[in-house]
Amino acid sequence: MKKFTFLCVLLVHYIAFHIAIAQKRAPRNFPEYGFFLNKQQLYIQELLEFLRIPSVSASSEHLKDVQAAAEWLKNRMLGAGIPNVQIFQVGQYPLVYASIAAAVPQAPTVLIYGHFDVQPASVEDGWNITKPFKPRMIQDKIYARGASDDKGSLLSVVHAVEAILAVSQGRSPVNIKFLFEGQEEIGSPDLPNWLLKNRKLVQSDLLVSADGSMYSENTGSIVWGLRGAGAVQVNVTGPSHDLHSGGFGGVVQNPIHCLVHLLESMRYENGSIAIEGFYQGTRPITQKEKDLSRQSAKELETELSRLSGVSQLVGGESNHFDIVERLWFRPTLDVVGIWGGYTDQGIKTVLPANAYAKLSFRLVQEQIPEQVVEKVIQHVHLHCPVGCTCEAFDLGFHALPFESDPDMLGNQVLRETLLDIYQGEEPKYVRSGASIPLIGFIQKEFQIPAVFLAFGLPDENIHGPNEFYRIGSMDKARRAYVSFLYHLGERYQWERNAKKPEETPSVSVTATTSTSMKEMEMDHSEL
- Alpha helices, DSSP H, located in 52-190: 63-79, 152-167
For residues 393 and 234, what is the distance between their CA atoms, to the nearest angstrom? Answer: 7
pTM of the model: 0.83
Residue 276: per-residue pLDDT: 96
Closest CA to 160 of 103, 112, 93: 112
Instruction: Kindly tell me if the per-residue pLDDT of 503 is higher than 60.
Output: no
Residue 6: per-residue pLDDT: 54
Residue 518: per-residue pLDDT: 40
Pairing mode of beta strands 109-115, 93-100: unpaired
Instruction: Kindly tell me if the per-residue pLDDT of 202 is higher than 70.
Output: yes
Q: Residue 177: is it exposed, middle or buried by C-beta count within 10 angstroms (0-12/13-18/19+)? A: buried
Instruction: Kindly tell me if the per-residue pLDDT of 29 is higher than 60.
Output: yes
Q: Residue 465: is it exposed, middle or buried by C-beta count within 10 angstroms (0-12/13-18/19+)? A: middle
Share of the chain above pLDDT 90, in %: 72
Q: How far are the Cα atoms of 32, 280, 400 from residue 440, in angstroms, in the given order? A: 32, 18, 5
Pairing mode of beta strands 206-209, 450-452: parallel
245: left (phi over 0), alpha (psi -120 to 50) or beta: alpha
pLDDT per residue as tens digits for the range 329-343: 999 999 999 999 999
pLDDT per residue as tens digits for the range 204-221: 999 999 999 999 999 999
For residues 155 and 163, what is the distance between their CA atoms, to the nearest angstrom? Answer: 13
For residues 146 and 514, what is the distance between their CA atoms, to the nearest angstrom? Answer: 33
Average pLDDT, rounded, for the chain = 88
Instruction: Pick the range with the lowest mean pLDDT from 24-28, 39-43, 298-302, 404-408.
Output: 24-28
pLDDT per residue as tens digits for the range 146-157: 999 999 999 999
Residue 523: per-residue pLDDT: 38
Confidence of residue 15 (pLDDT cuts 50, 70, 90): low
* Phi, psi (rounded to 5 degrees) for 184: -60, -40
Residue 331: per-residue pLDDT: 94
